[in-house]
Amino acid sequence: MIQNHEIDYQIIGEEMQYVEIELDPQETAMAEAGSFMMMEDGIQMETIFGDGSQQSNTSGILGKLVNAGKRILVGQSLFMTAFTNVGYGKKKVSFAAPYPGKIIPLNLAQLGGRAICQKDAFLCAAKGVSIGIEFQKKLGTGIFGGEGFIMEKLEGDGMCFVHAGGHVTEKVLQPGELIKIDTGCIVGFTGAVQYDIEYVGGIKNAIFGGDGMFFATLRGPGTVWIQTLPISRLAHRILLYGTIKQKDEGSILGGLGNLVNGDTW
């Protein structure tokens, strides 16, 4: 069995973070298209079909097509970029987060070799990590799961990095311990955590609650990562402010604000 490449790293920044990965000669890091930030001379870039894992390389053309199709379902590209140190000394390559939040390092060797993450959360990983999809088996989860329906599955024994919006908190669940979370606020969880969807009871809660009719239930044992600002929530607010003309907060102050902002009546 071929192990994943071992990589050293450093996460830099506060609100807009990036991860700097140090590669030994012939070591490779895999990243999503568009996440690259900078690299030192001596690192070679190569666009590859799929995720570059051992599973993809040994499954033939059909297997690669299936894996690529799965990546499309979780919002990823058909292709990934491999960054390989072809020089003689240590070289560094950096990958940036796509929006304000935190980068979470996941050592799969310490997490049972498997982690489940929100779709499009993956940023980069050591070569050999397999990035696939995790379908929830229960019908209710599939129909009502929303953002949590199709999750990313990260497998292997190397380091990988996922990105979350806003602040991130980590909760360790004991066996049988249950936590209820908005589906969009889930960043990821370890493979032993049981995941399901639960209906928000009460007609008033369903209609006027403002948080949807369903939330996720996660049952331990395992570790769960939770974000305060899902990208869907951020995008909804931006779209709301960009497409709906705001009411003036008082006729005089509102008019002055429009003049200052350059708005015309």
At 151 the pLDDT is 81
Q: How confident is the model at residue 24 (pLDDT cuts 50, 70, 90)?
A: very high
pTM of the model: 0.78
Q: Using alpha carbons only, how large is the chain's radius of gyration in Å?
A: 21
Mean pLDDT of 153-162: 92
Q: What is the pLDDT of residues 115-132, one digit of tens each?
A: 999 877 889 999 989 888
**Stated length of the chain:** 265
Confidence of residue 49 (pLDDT cuts 50, 70, 90): confident
CATH superfamily of 8-245: Mitochondrial biogenesis AIM24 (3.60.160.10)
Q: What is the pLDDT of residue 256?
A: 44
Contacts of 163 (CB under 8 A, 6+ apart): 97, 98, 99, 101, 102, 103, 104, 121, 123
109 vs 157: CA distance, rounded Å: 4
Q: What is the pLDDT of residue 232?
A: 76
Closest CA to 180 of 194, 168, 163: 194
Tell me the per-residue pLDDT of 168-204, one tens digit each, with 9 for 90 and over: 999 999 999 999 998 889 999 999 999 888 777 655 5
Number of other residues whose CB lies within 10 A of the CB of residue 47 = 11
Q: What is the pLDDT of residue 101?
A: 92
Cβ count near 247 (within 10 Å):
7
Q: Is 25 helix (H, G, I), strand (E, B) or coil?
A: coil
